């Protein structure tokens, strides 16, 4: 509590004491000595005016620096061309902070992850030092890929099933797509409604090798390679590791599926 507030409280307490010391009932109030009543009211008025005139840090300046900080941090994670907007919560009107001689500093609380709702630390670096956290709602509008029409689980996505819309990506995870080429030819892991944002989590590469398929096994490096025939023991997409049984030696080896469908086992 600052000195001005303590003085105001003392003045108000004195006035109330004068009022209550001579007034016990409504009838007593009617017969109160007029000078006493006048003095009591005057003290209450002085206390109120004095308290309201005590300099205090602007809530608007605190909110402004907090919003600016949130936008700066949000821009570090936003894609090119994104529009960023921040709106801080209104501060409690009862919050009275001494004026900061310099512009308040801002900081990100330790361990805070990017998102739509963040807290921004605001502090006065000089005397009288104070610090508080300001809740800020962050909006990052950016182009994302959405499902344009119905698509079933396991369906390979076609260009006409995709479109780009602007959405608030601060509310999404970090694996959303920004180009339809990233989703074309991919397979949905689960059923989605039209308008749903496509993310890496809901897509997978199509399998080009099926369990039981005859595949070509390539062993060795670029300078020297040995080829043989094998049987795939599981489904796999390009880039996946898959186990295959060599049809000649009957041994089981593991390799990586190439886009061509060849299983490369290395050297």
* CATH value at residue 155: 3.90.1210.10
Say whether both 145 and 133 belong to one domain. no
Check whether 218 has a pLDDT greater than 60: yes
- Of all residues in the chain, the percent with pLDDT exceeding 90 is 51
Query: What's the domain range around 21?
Result: 3-52
Say whether both 156 and 176 belong to one domain. yes
CA distances to 81, 89, 90, 176, 248 from 130, in Å: 37, 19, 18, 40, 78
Residue with tokens 């936008």: 71
Predicted confidence band of residue 3 (pLDDT cuts 50, 70, 90): very low
What is the Cα 248 distance to its own chain's centre?
56
Say whether both 63 and 133 belong to one domain. yes
Give the residue-averaged pLDDT of 256-266. 88
Say whether both 74 and 130 belong to one domain. yes
- Report the candidate in 183, 267, 173, 162 with the shortest Cα–Cα distance to residue 220: 267
Say whether both 68 and 113 belong to one domain. yes
Least confident span in 8-17, 136-145, 182-191: 8-17
pLDDT of amino acid 40 = 52
Say whether both 145 and 128 belong to one domain. no
Say whether both 181 and 211 belong to one domain. no
Query: How many domains in the chain?
Result: 4
pLDDT of amino acid 220 = 74
Residue with tokens 């369906």: 155
């Amino acid at each position: 509590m600052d000195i001005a507030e303590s003085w105001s409280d003392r003045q108000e307490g004195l006035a109330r004491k004068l009022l209550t010391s001579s007034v016990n009932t409504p009838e007593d109030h009617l017969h109160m000595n007029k000078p006493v009543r006048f003095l009591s009211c005057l003290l209450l008025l002085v206390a109120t005016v004095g308290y309201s005139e005590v300099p205090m840090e602007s809530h608007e300046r605190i909110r402004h620096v907090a919003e600016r900080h949130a936008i700066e941090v949000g821009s570090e994670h936003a894609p090119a061309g994104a529009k960023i907007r921040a709106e801080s919560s209104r501060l409690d009107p009862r919050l009275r902070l001494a004026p900061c001689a310099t512009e308040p500093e801002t900081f990100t609380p330790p361990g805070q992850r990017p998102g739509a709702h963040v807290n921004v630390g605001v502090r006065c670096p000089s005397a009288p030092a104070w610090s508080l956290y300001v809740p800020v709602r962050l909006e990052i509008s950016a182009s994302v890929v959405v499902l344009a029409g119905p698509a079933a689980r396991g369906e390979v996505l076609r260009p006409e099933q995709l479109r780009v819309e602007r959405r608030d990506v601060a509310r999404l995870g970090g694996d959303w797509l920004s180009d339809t080429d990233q989703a074309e030819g991919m397979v949905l892991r689960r059923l989605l409604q039209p308008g749903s944002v496509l993310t890496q989590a809901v897509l997978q590469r199509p399998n080009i090798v099926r369990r039981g398929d005859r595949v070509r096994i390539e062993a060795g490096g670029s300078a020297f390679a040995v080829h043989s025939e094998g049987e795939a023991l599981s489904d796999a997409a390009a880039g996946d590791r898959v186990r295959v049984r060599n049809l000649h030696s009957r041994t089981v080896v593991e390799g990586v599926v190439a886009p061509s469908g060849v299983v490369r086992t290395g050297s």
